[in-house]
């Protein structure tokens, strides 16, 4: 039996748990631990900063500080608070009372250009844990981090602050979160949970922590670094799949065919062992996962100890995928300029009505939205830009309206950037009347309009992947 196994045996089963970071990852995780009968008490740790101390009071009154619909969350918070099984506190010294502590602190990119992650909040959290760490405790990182961080930076800080040895005096693991806004509780209960310890005993202790909250999902054990790579790779692969269909859409435009016919054809290839995860082309890829996790993975390979064998001078296909997806807003701009040219207009001085600011359909989430670079290109070229979105009502430096008629009025070009349901039933003659133009322009970035309906009403149509329609005769 190793030293750690002996210490864990003496400490006994996990009873008291702490969660650092009361955000959309930490809160559901904490109340699900609290709801498990085998655990006695859960502490939610939240910094008492002016921007987030309100969460402490709300949570201790059984209310959820998260905005947006989260089925079952508020009830569960109320239940575990009332049962005295969960409380939120800014007192980090209480970490020393615990058997296990998880860190769910966000790791944004300080500045998107250099793609260096901002680990400052996470490092502060790790230091706090190190300061109050006791022998035979379990520490788990849930944040999305560069592969190698758990075994590297996190282990180092914890050992420095505590004077204890990771993997011998305390258990250390990574268990990446896979939650999606709008289904937080369901995701944690039903998704399989990747659990990666820095050694066997750490992995086993982390399995003991997560198994009770899983209903449908099962635990998938592996090393800490493999767990970090799994998390970043699952999003990298999705970004790659989207780039593959975006590139095919650009090719179809150049070959004057309809990418959606090709997509249907390719997707029809079925049968065991045959997979063609062909996704959907669009005006770009936004959000806080796919736009960043590729670069975490790329950094991981760089700071890894091994030697990478890869085609000489070739770009990583994952980085190329990011470049293709980040090109799509520029392609939308090029389609807009080309359409205006067809009626002898310049982008300068033209009025462009943007439909959709959110990065994803039917959502108010606008983080890293592709609409922003598109709008910047239009403004830089001297266009007048109005923005519509039914869900996103404010965004720094951008005036957004939920009044579609007002946004479209007098527009030379109407450009669809988000696939909100509201846009699928917009009628060509209504749009034409509101724009008041003889040949208004429609640029469809999310395949929401029927080209022939708009072309038939005298529109100049451009659609991503619609090489079969983009050179139509103007009626």
Give the binding site for ligand SAJ (CB under 6 A).
178-180, 234-235, 238, 242, 279-280, 282, 285-287, 289-290, 359-360
Hey, CA dihedral for 87, 91, 95, 100, is it positive or negative? positive
Give the nearer residue to ligand SAJ in terms of CB position, either 130 or 465. Answer: 465
Smallest separation (angstroms) from ligand SAJ to the CB of 57: 29
Residue closer to ligand SAJ, measured from CB, 230 or 401: 230
Looking at the Cβ atoms of 139 and 240, the one nearer to ligand SAJ is: 240
**What residue has token string 């005006």?**
283
- Residue 116 · residue 149 · CB < 8 Å: no
138 or 179, CB closer to ligand SAJ? 179
Q: Could you count the other beta carbons within 10 Å of the beta carbon of residue 409?
A: 14
Q: Shortest distance, CB of residue 137 to ligand SAJ, whole angstroms? A: 27
Closest CB 331 distance from ligand SAJ, rounded Å: 12
CB of 154 to ligand SAJ, least distance (A): 20
- Please say which residue, 178 or 472, places its beta carbon nearer to ligand SAJ: 178
Q: Kindly tell me which of 23 and 286 has the beta carbon lying closer to ligand SAJ.
A: 286
**DSSP one-letter string for 404-471:** HHHHHTT-SEEEE-S--GGGGG--HHHHHHHHT-SS-EEEESSS-S-HHHHHHTT-EEEETTBTTTTT
The CB-of-292 to ligand SAJ minimum distance in angstroms stands at: 10
Based on CB atoms, which residue is closest to ligand SAJ, 235 or 294?
235
Q: Are 45 and 92 in contact (CB under 8 A)?
A: yes
* Residue 328 Cβ vs ligand SAJ, minimum distance, rounded to whole Å: 8
* Distance in angstroms (rounded) separating the CA atoms of residues 21 and 64: 14
Q: How far apart are CA 312 and CA 71, in angstroms?
A: 50
User: Using CA of residue 253, residue 255, residue 256, residue 261, what is the dihedral sign?
Assistant: negative
User: Shortest distance, CB of residue 180 to ligand SAJ, whole angstroms?
Assistant: 5
Minimum distance between the CB of residue 166 and ligand SAJ, rounded to whole angstroms? Answer: 27
* Cβ closest to ligand SAJ, residue 188 vs residue 198: 188
Question: HEC profile for 224-286?
Answer: HHHHHHHHHHHHHHHHHHHHHHHHHHHHHHHCCCEHHHHHHHHHCCCCCCCCCCCCCCCCCCC
Longest dimension (CA), the chain: 82
Rg (CA), the chain: 26
């Amino acid at each position: 039996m190793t030293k750690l196994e002996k210490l864990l045996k003496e400490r006994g089963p996990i009873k008291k748990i702490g969660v650092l970071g009361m955000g959309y990852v930490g809160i559901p995780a904490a109340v699900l631990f609290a709801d498990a009968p085998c655990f006695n008490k859960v502490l939610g740790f939240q910094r008492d900063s002016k921007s987030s101390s309100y969460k402490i009071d709300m949570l201790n009154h059984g209310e959820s500080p998260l905005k947006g619909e989260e089925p079952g969350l508020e009830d569960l918070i109320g239940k575990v608070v009332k049962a005295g099984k969960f409380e939120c506190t800014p007192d980090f010294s209480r970490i020393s009372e615990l058997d296990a502590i998880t860190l769910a602190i966000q790791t944004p990119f300080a500045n998107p250009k250099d793609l260096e992650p901002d680990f400052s909040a996470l490092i502060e959290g790790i230091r706090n844990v190190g300061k109050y760490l006791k022998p035979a405790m379990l520490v788990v990182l849930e944040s999305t981090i560069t592969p190698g961080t758990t075994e590297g930076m996190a282990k180092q800080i914890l050992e420095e602050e505590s004077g204890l040895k990771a993997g011998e005096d305390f258990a250390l693991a990574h268990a990446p979160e896979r939650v999606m806004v709008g289904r937080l509780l369901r995701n944690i209960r039903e998704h399989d949970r990747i659990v990666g310890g820095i050694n066997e005993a750490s992995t086993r202790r982390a399995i003991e922590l997560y198994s009770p909250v899983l209903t449908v999902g099962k635990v998938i054990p592996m090393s800490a670094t493999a767990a970090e790579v799994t998390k970043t790779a699952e999003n990298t692969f999705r970004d790659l799949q989207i780039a593959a269909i975006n590139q095919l859409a650009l090719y179809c435009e150049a070959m004057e065919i309809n990418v959606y016919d090709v997509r249907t054809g390719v997707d029809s290839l079925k049968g065991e062992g045959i997979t063609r995860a062909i996704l959907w082309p669009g005006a770009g890829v936004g959000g806080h996962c796919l736009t960043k996790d590729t670069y975490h993975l790329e950094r991981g390979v760089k700071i890894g100890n091994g030697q990478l064998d890869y085609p000489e001078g070739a770009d990583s296909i994952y980085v190329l995928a990011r470049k293709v997806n980040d090109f799509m807003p520029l392609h939308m701009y090029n389609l807009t300029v080309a359409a205006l040219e067809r009626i002898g207009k310049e982008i300068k001085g033209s009025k462009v009505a943007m439909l959709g600011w959110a990065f994803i359909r039917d959502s108010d989430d606008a983080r890293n939205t592709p609409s922003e670079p598109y709008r910047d290109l239009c403004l830089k070229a001297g266009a007048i830009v109005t923005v519509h979105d039914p869900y996103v009502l404010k965004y720094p430096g951008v005036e957004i309206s939920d009044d579609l008629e007002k946004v479209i009025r007098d527009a030379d070009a109407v450009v669809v950037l988000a696939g909100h349901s509201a846009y699928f039933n917009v009628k060509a003659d209504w749009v034409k009347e509101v724009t008041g133009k003889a040949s208004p322009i429609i640029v469809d970035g999310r395949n929401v309009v029927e080209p022939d309906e708009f072309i038939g009403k005298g529109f100049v149509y451009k659609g991503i992947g619609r090489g079969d329609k983009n050179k139509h005769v103007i009626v």
